[in-house]
Amino acid sequence: MTDKESPQVEGATREPDSLEQHFPGILTPDEREGFDGYLVAPDKLTEFATRLRDEFGYDYLSSVTGVDYLPDEVMEVVYHAYRIEGGPALVFKTQVPRADPVVPSLVGVWPGADFQEREAWDLLGIRFTGHPNLRRILMWEGFEGHPLRKDWHEAYFEEDAKPFANRWPEGDVYRIEDKIPFGKNVQYPSEFTPEGWIPEGDEGLYAGLGQISNDGDGSSLKTDQLVVNLGPQHPSTHGVFRMVVTLDGETVTDLKPVMGYLHRNHEKIGERNTYIMNMPYTDRLDYLSSMSNNFGYALAVEKLMDIQPPERAEYIRVIMAELTRIVSHLWAIGFLLNDLGAFFTPALYAINERELILDVFEAVSGSRMMCNYFRFGGLARDLPPGTLQTIRELIFERLPRRVDELDIYLTENEIVRSRCIGVGVLSPEKAVAFSAAGPVLRASGIPYDVRRAEPYGIYDRFDFEVAVRYGGDVYDRYLVRLQEIRESIRIVQQAVDDIPEGEIQTGKPIFQVRVPAGEAYGRVENPKGELGFYVVSNGKPNPWRYHIRAPSFINLTALAEMCKGHKVADVVAILGSIDIILGEVDR
């Protein structure tokens, strides 16, 4: 999209041919069957991570999560680090006693670890020493316990794993609410009352206006900084999301995202479910991108099972994933214009095209949004008769013309340019450091796309360009999405021309799969960025660990950096340019 060269993020590229040679006594290979990577001594973790970034060029920390190995009384923290120029992950882990899980924070090495470490503390109780703000992030302050621990049981808890025992033995029907009364597993802090509760550390959010001092001639007129809540119930937040904004006059001096209002412990549910039960749950993460969500989860489990989908299924997967990208980006552009004040006219223009693609999704899966279409080793069903021709007409005739019209109407629009150019700038260095992904990362001049950096499925067969811009602002994020729509059209055009006949499922369709013990990380380039599924199997019908690397959640790490120095109206546009989905943020 531009002749400018991509700025190079500084970092060495020494090959990690034998990391043990460079880190004697610090790390050992993970030799557990089915596991990869290295085990690092906790007291050497910061040194190892710093050298890994500076000497070996692993400047991009993609994923941080914890695993509760209850039978071994061990907590494990798992890291996936990448080089921004591409290539596979370097996976490293550290293990600490479950009774006292303390790990050094890596926020000082990779700022993108911030929210992910807070999540591991919140849900697993792993303490990260040196973290600048180790507070809960999805649960409320004062919540009792850490819900992802294997011995934590919620209200109405029945069993640790599905399928649950028959609830109606010998015709004795009962309601589970009657058998396990509400309150049995609900705990509150001592002296808790709903009316008097204020989150720990949030007292300042409820402070009134500061005093204004004035000596009469206006020369010493000053205003105190003011704390304002945007959300959680506000149209500009795109859901129940709250921004605690500190203002000096009308200028933003600080911003803290507050999330978790839609948290339902998706990962705990996933560890109770059988493997196939989780597929429809992935639809409900980024609920505009269910096909792509299915893709990432299927890849992770297929790695564990060591199976490959048939050729026809691979092509259909790519077609559905790229149509999903078009749908998501059309929605993002339409609602960004909403945030700029053009209420729903541009959005409806984009939504009209989206509806035609949802017709395709409904034809192939039976649902417009919650598609539940992918299966391990293939797909739920083949394309119905006539569907391929419908897709062909869309991507060769209608969509290219409509995208060009959208470009003409918006790109040179004076209001769009004045509201977006230079607003919410994120430098390439900070975009990488904050683990930003997707259009947020590529609009900052970093041409990193998982489809190119570490191709999955059959993406290495297609001719397409990675959309990249260099301003790092709201305007460039819009332009990246616009270009990605065009590139997705280009990919689908190639796919419908080349798709073979044949089977769409490896082996017989099965409802219960046997997954060997081990770990796998499946990642895809979702419309919002890198969506990753980290799955640990112990060989039983349910995942031992099921973790989602949610791009909407991690991209918010850079929100405060982008908003400082701007006005409140700009904050609305900046948040819109990140394009979050709260189902994926809160999980």
- Read off the pLDDT of residues 365-408 as tens digits, 9 standing for 90 and up: 999 999 999 999 999 999 999 999 999 999 999 999 999 999 99
Q: Is 555 helix (H, G, I), strand (E, B) or coil?
A: helix
Residue 345 pLDDT > 90: no
Residue 5 pLDDT: 45
Alpha-helical (H) ranges within 73-133 are 114-124
DSSP string of 300-347, one letter each residue? HHHHHHT----HHHHHHHHHHHHHHHHHHHHHHHHHHHHHTT--SHHH
d(CA 422, CA 434): 20
Q: In this prediction, what percent of the chain has a pLDDT beyond 90?
A: 71
Residue 526 pLDDT: 96
Q: Tokens in use for 503? A: 């089977």
d(CA 81, CA 447): 17
- The residue ranking higher by pLDDT, 177 or 569, is 569
Alpha carbon distances (Å) from 118 to 65, 134, 432 = 10, 6, 19
pLDDT tens, 318-339? 999 999 999 999 999 999 998 8
- Radius of gyration of the chain, Cα coordinates, nearest whole angstrom: 24
Backbone angles phi, psi at 399, to 5 degrees: -65, -45
Closest by Cα among 558, 559, 568, 484 to 526 = 484
Residue 187 pLDDT: 64
CA dihedral 318→319→325→330, nearest 10 degrees, is: 170
d(CA 21, CA 246): 49
Residue 193 pLDDT: 73
Residue 131 pLDDT > 80: yes
Tell me the CB-side half-sphere exposure of residue 373, using CA atoms within 13 A.
Answer: 31
pLDDT tens, 100-123? 999 999 999 999 999 999 999 999
DSSP string of 380-433, one letter each residue? SSPPPTTHHHHHHHIIIIIHHHHHHHHHHHHTT-HHHHHHHTTSS---HHHHHH
Alpha carbon distances (Å) from 179 to 157, 182, 234, 455 = 10, 9, 39, 50
- When the pLDDT of each residue in the chain is averaged and rounded to a whole number, the result is 88
Q: Which domains does the chain have, with CATH numbers?
A: 19-129 (3.30.460.80), 266-586 (1.10.645.10)
DSSP state of 5: P
Question: At 2, is the pLDDT very low, low, confident or very high (cuts 50, 70, 90)?
Answer: very low
Neighbours of 152 (CB within 10 A): 18
pLDDT tens, 282-317? 999 998 999 999 999 999 999 999 999 999 999 999
Closest by Cα among 287, 273, 363 to 328 = 287
Angle value at C-alpha 268, between 266 and 271, nearest 5 degrees: 110
Closest by Cα among 447, 519, 517 to 483 = 447
Residue type, 495: A
pLDDT tens, 241-276? 999 898 988 899 999 999 999 999 999 999 999 999
Alpha carbon distances (Å) from 454 to 449, 459, 488, 572 = 8, 9, 18, 34
Alpha-helical (H) ranges within 472-546 are 474-498
90 bridge partner residues: 81
pLDDT tens, 492-517? 999 999 999 999 998 876 777 889 99
Residue 271 pLDDT: 94
The set of residues, in sequence order, having a beta carbon less than 8 Å from that of 423 and lying 6+ positions away, is 473, 474, 475, 566, 570, 573, 574
Residue 466 pLDDT: 96
DSSP string of 272-299, one letter each residue? HS-TTTHHHHHTTSSTT-HHHHHHHHHH
Question: At 186, is the pLDDT very low, low, confident or very high (cuts 50, 70, 90)?
Answer: low
DSSP state of 453: H
Residue 215 pLDDT > 70: no
Q: Tokens in use for 430? A: 């900070």
Residue 189 pLDDT: 65
Closest by Cα among 453, 576, 474 to 525 = 453
Alpha carbon distances (Å) from 2 to 125, 225, 471, 562, 574 = 47, 41, 11, 23, 23
| Residues 481-485, mean pLDDT to the nearest whole number | 96
Residue 172 pLDDT: 64
Q: In this prediction, what percent of the chain has a pLDDT beyond 70?
A: 87
pLDDT tens, 22-44? 888 888 999 999 999 999 999 99
pLDDT tens, 356-372? 999 999 999 999 999 99
Alpha carbon distances (Å) from 328 to 206, 334, 526, 575 = 36, 10, 9, 16
Residue 342 pLDDT: 84
Q: Tokens in use for 435? A: 């683990």
d(CA 236, CA 572): 6
| Residues 194-199, mean pLDDT to the nearest whole number | 68
The set of residues, in sequence order, having a beta carbon less than 8 Å from that of 328 and lying 6+ positions away, is 286, 288, 289, 527, 528, 579
Backbone angles phi, psi at 467, to 5 degrees: -70, 125
Residue 501 pLDDT: 95
Residue 11 pLDDT: 45
| Residues 174-182, mean pLDDT to the nearest whole number | 62
User: For the whole prediction, is pTM greater than 0.85?
Assistant: yes
